[in-house]
Chains A and B, each alone.
Chain A
Amino acid sequence: MDNQLIMSTKQEALAYIQSLGQSGTVTRSELIAAYEVGSGPMPTVDLSVTGHKVGITEVLYFIGGGIVLLGIAILLAQNWTTLTFATKLLATLGAAIAAYIVGLLLIREERTESIGTAFHLIAALLFPVGFFVVLDNAGVDVGGMGVQSVMAAVLLLGYLASAYLLRNGIFSFFAVVYGTWLFFSFTSYLVGSAPLWDGTEFYEYRILASGMAYLALGYHFSSRDESSLSGFLYGFGILGFLGAALALGGWDPSQNVFWELVFPLLAFGTLFASTYLKSRALLVFGTLFLMGYIIKITSEYFSSGLGWPTALVIAGLGMMAVGYLSISIRNKYMVPRT
């Protein structure tokens, strides 16, 4: 009992938690998770393979936010030619600023944080539309990659500043979204219309790089207050990374041997990483892409030599082996033991 803390009052417990928070020993999310374990299971819905759980109330908030956006979009689309510039501006950029301010006020309180997040969702999706309206009215070609790069950079800086000042995951999420937009639009702007590379391959390499960046950021956020972001980043990161790597392999006779040989190493590496990171997203996508690779290689190289039925048998056995490996990993490393 030497190291056991004995706290007789609620005030002492709260003061101890405060000191843990100040020293950075325990993060907010870890504390909430510990509280939820102690207070029993919460009603939640598993929305995706990322394993990120969102409550029913949050789902309704986000659906409400989506309906608001839909209403604004229909209003603009139906009356685009008749609406004045001021009305368009008010309906887009004005609504975005209003939603951002309302969101700021609401996320300050714990009980209204979720609805505040829904308002930030509306704001973040309306800001680019508002910029488009302003630039379109000014006669700027809004489809140009240079203009898109400037808009993405402005929004990225705004959301990075918000994330830094307000320490809320929703700002980090949109900083990642706008950063991705900036990355794609700026690289397209640099290349312009020059026919230097195959357009599809260039696109695939950029998705590969984005996937790697998402995985690194997911790992960074996993040990911080924004840990809920890591599920999203791991899921989309591995989907982009393995998807691009598989696509870069191409197809016989114009296949890329390097990517075809490297891909199984990447897929097995993903399965190995899933045990270390305890990420179901990596396990699920690693397994699915390994199965996809087996089907691709079998149909590409063995269907004509061995015959299609034999190729199907090989592919089937390979998929069974991958499935068994995946379930073994999940049972050994991810299912909590009682």
Chain B
Amino acid sequence: MVYYGRMNIRKNAPLIAGLAIPVVMVLLVAASIYLPALFAPAPVTNFLYMTGSQYYYGDQYSVDKGRLLKIKPDAEQKPYGPPNNQIAHFYTYNVSTNTRSEISFEDAQKLTLDSSVTSPDGFQLKNGTQSDGFAPFFVLASEDYRTHYLVGHGASYKLGIEQGTAFERFSNDFQFLGWIIN
């Protein structure tokens, strides 16, 4: 018989197993979140993104041959909704310091950009997830447009771009434009 203190381990093996299974799973979840972050390379490629001016028929922006372009809306096309009065804001995001800096469209045009999904150092920009409801009954699991992550090499890094309004939570005002090559 194996005894630990007053507890008969063999007799209480099912109890120990029943308590250990969730504890082990919690440890595995924690390890799979924190361990890759210890060994994965830190992201180094900064990126350019913008907010505003994406709805209805306002100015559109895209990257072609590594440069940012502004595309004027077609004057012949009648808008479905009200005219877009939002002003586009451009930001460079420094992944090392986790900070953003607003820049002008003219300065943004001077940057050489790579609009691939994956950065040269192997990271992707993804929205966060949200679970609304009462655990364990999550009635709604969806993307959270307020939070943004760099995901790669098994690790994820939360970015300091928090969009807090109720509207922004369910809309995607944030638009990634490209990884800054130089």
**Interface of A toward B, CB cutoff 8 Å:** 143, 145, 148, 152, 179-181, 183-188, 190-196, 199-200, 203, 205-207, 209-210, 212-217, 219-220
Contact = CB atoms under 8 A, between A and B. Distances in A.
Please classify how large the interface on chain B is, using the bins under 10, 10 to 19, 20 to 34, 35 or more.
20 to 34
Nearest to B131: A188
Contact of B22 (A196, A213, A215): A213
B33 A195 contact: no
Contacts of A196: 32-33, 151, 156
Interface string B132-159: 1011101001011001010100001010
A314 to B, nearest CB: 36
Contact of A199 (B12, B29, B129, B134): B129
Interface in B114-139: 126-132, 134-136, 138
A128 B18 CA distance: 24
A213 B18 contact: yes
A297 B12 CA distance: 39
Contacts of B149: 193-195
B141 A200 contact: yes
Given A190-B26, A193-B144, A195-B149, A213 B21 contact: yes
A143 B127 CA distance: 20
Contacts of A209: 21-22, 25
Given A145-B135, A203-B138, A187 B15 contact: no
A31 B33 CA distance: 50
B19 interface: yes
Interface of B: 12, 14-15, 17-19, 21-22, 25-26, 29-30, 32-33, 126-132, 134-136, 138, 141, 143-144, 147, 149, 151, 156, 158
8 contacts: A188-B138, A191-B29, A192-B158, A195-B128, A196-B156, A199-B141, A209-B22, A213-B17
Per CB-CB distance, the 3 closest pairs between chain A and chain B, nearest first, are A193-B128, A216-B18, A184-B136
A193 B14 contact: no
A216 to B, nearest CB: 4
Nearest to A209: B25
Contacts of A186: 26
B25 A195 contact: no
Contacts, number: 96
Nearest to A212: B21
A221 to B, nearest CB: 9
A216 B15 contact: yes
Given A195-B129, A217-B18, A220-B12, 17 more contacts: A148-B134, A180-B136, A181-B135, A187-B25, A188-B135, A188-B138, A193-B158, A194-B33, A194-B151, A194-B156, A195-B127, A196-B156, A203-B141, A209-B21, A213-B22, A216-B14, A220-B15
A199 B131 contact: yes
A220 B25 contact: no
A169 B79 CA distance: 67
A282 B12 CA distance: 22
Contacts of B15: 216-217, 220
B14 A183 contact: no
Contacts of B138: 188, 203
B18 A214 contact: yes
Contacts of A143: 132
Contacts of A183: 22, 25-26, 136
A206 to B, nearest CB: 7
B156 A195 contact: yes
B151 A191 contact: no
A148 B100 CA distance: 33
Nearest to A189: B135
A248 to B, nearest CB: 15
B147 A193 contact: yes
Contact of B25 (A180, A181, A206, A219): A206
B126 A195 contact: yes
Nearest to A193: B128
Contacts of A206: 25, 136
A148 B29 contact: no
A217 B26 contact: no
A162 B128 CA distance: 40
B130 A193 contact: yes
A186 B22 CA distance: 11
B172 to A, nearest CB: 14
